[in-house]
Amino acid sequence: MEAFADFWATYSTLIFTVGIHALLALSLWLTLSCGLLSLANAAFMGIGAYTAALLTLHLHWPFPMVLAAGALAPAAVALVIGAPTLRLSGVYLAMATLAFGEVTRILVLNLEITGGPEGLNGIPLLTTWWHILLILAAAGYALARLRRSRMGRAFEAIREDEVAARMMGIDVEGHKLAAFTLGAVLAGLAGALNAHSTFFISPREYGFENAVDILTMTILGGISSLIGPVLGATILTLLPELLRFLHAYRLAVNGLILIAVVLFLPTGLWDSRRLRQLVGAWRTRREGKP
């Protein structure tokens, strides 16, 4: 038991981070499932984190309500900016969401209430391991149900071919806005949980690099299933810890992984179809032997 206590004392922050990153990767998975490459999810996470932290620090709201507000605030922003932004497609959408992320970061950096570049300090550590686990499990379940629902299939149709989807009578704009907003909900939740597990937050944690990190995790894992993003988040969070001996060169490994995945594993590590084929091939070989 004591060994476990030691282990927990050393690694609990890391485990929390894995969970929060997994939630973020799922939030981007949701946006990507509708074919939207958004670089705004880091900003949504930031909006969630700041909203939640300010409510806790100044208004002393109970934690569940804080979490709900942390999820809803970025969703409201996503609804407002989504309507005009989502008319853009492909690289233009990526650029617009990047610009939105920068505007958000610079605003947070310069506003009085957000504490400027120093950020917010002394946020009570209210997040526990089961909060993260529960929310992650609930999000995973909800997304799994969503995939098999009418809405999830509409997302997929839009991702594959927008024009064809429109011809089938799918409300393309509405579904895109829904995917964007729901992604913001998950990112905001991740931000609210993160703010209450790290004691302090600053604008630096929600910039372009973080948007890229989220993207890397999701792409590394692969977006063909929900396991991919979670796997990607876990690997990329734990990897820097294992690579401590590389010091400053540690991040280079992340970059090399990203390049290698894009070049050699375009569908990510966890590709359900490829796995099924592998398992199938293995079975036939075993059964083929007398």
Partner 1 sequence: MLEQQLVNALTLGSVYALFSLGFTLVFGVLEVINLSHGAMFMAGSFAALTVVTRLKAPLAVGILAAMLVSGLLGLAIDALILKRLRARHAPHLIPMIATIGATTVLTSAAQGLFGVEVQRFPDELLPTREFIFGSVHVRALELAIVGIAFLLMTTLFLVLRHTRQGRALRAIAESPKAAALLGINVEGLFLATSFTAAALGGVAGLLIGLNFNSVTPLMGQPILHKGIAVVILGGMGDIRGALFGGLFLGFAEVLSKAYLSSQMGDAVAFGLLFLILLVRPAGLFGRVLERKA
Instruction: Find the shortest distance in angstroms from Cβ 257 to partner 1.
Output: 8
Position 41 contacts partner 1 (CB under 8 A): no
Euclidean distance between the first and the last CA atom of the chain, given in angstroms as a whole number: 48
Stretch that binds partner 1, among 3-11, 98-106, 122-130, 160-168 (CB under 8 A): 98-106
How far is it, in rounded angstroms, from Cα 225 to Cα 273?
10
Position 107 contacts partner 1 (CB under 8 A): yes
Q: How far is CA 31 from CA 21, 111, 152, 220, 223, in A?
A: 16, 29, 11, 16, 11
Per-residue string for binding with partner 1, 239-278, x by CB under 8 A?
--------xxxxxx-xxxxxx--xx--x------------
Position 235 contacts partner 1 (CB under 8 A): no
Instruction: Read off φ and ψ for residue 285, nearest 5 degrees.
Output: -65, -40
Looking at beta carbons only, is 57 or 212 nearer to partner 1? 212
Q: Residue 119, class by beta-carbon neighbours within 10 Å (0-12 exposed, 13-18 middle, 19+ buried)?
A: buried
Q: What DSSP line would sit under 190-236, residue for residue?
A: HHHHHHHHHS-B-GGGGSHHHHHHHHHHHHHH-SSSSHHHHHHHHHH
Instruction: Find the shortest distance in angstroms from Cβ 160 to partner 1.
Output: 12
Which residue in this structure is represented by tokens 């590590």?
A: 269
Answer yes or no: are the C-beta atoms of 211 and 90 closer than 8 Å.
Answer: no
Of these, 59, 65, 80, 95, which contacts partner 1 (CB under 8 A)? 95
How far is it, in rounded angstroms, from Cα 49 to Cα 205?
10
Instruction: Find the shortest distance in angstroms from Cβ 36 to partner 1.
Output: 11
Count of residues of this chain found to bind partner 1 when the rule CB under 8 A is applied: 41
Per-residue string for binding with partner 1, 118-137, x by CB under 8 A?
--------------------
Site for partner 1 in 198-227 (CB under 8 A): 208-209, 212, 215-216, 219
Answer yes or no: are the C-beta atoms of 124 and 197 closer than 8 Å.
Answer: no
Q: What is the helix (H) or strand (E) element at residue 247, kind and residue range?
A: none
Position 163 contacts partner 1 (CB under 8 A): no
- The DSSP call for residue 161 is -
Looking at beta carbons only, is 16 or 270 nearer to partner 1? 270
Of these, 7, 8, 92, 141, which contacts partner 1 (CB under 8 A)? 92
Position 159 contacts partner 1 (CB under 8 A): no
Position 3 contacts partner 1 (CB under 8 A): no
Position 290 contacts partner 1 (CB under 8 A): no
Residues within the interface to partner 1 (CB under 8 A): 37, 84-85, 87-88, 90-92, 94-96, 98-100, 102-103, 106-107, 109-110, 208-209, 212, 215-216, 219, 247-252, 254-259, 262-263, 266
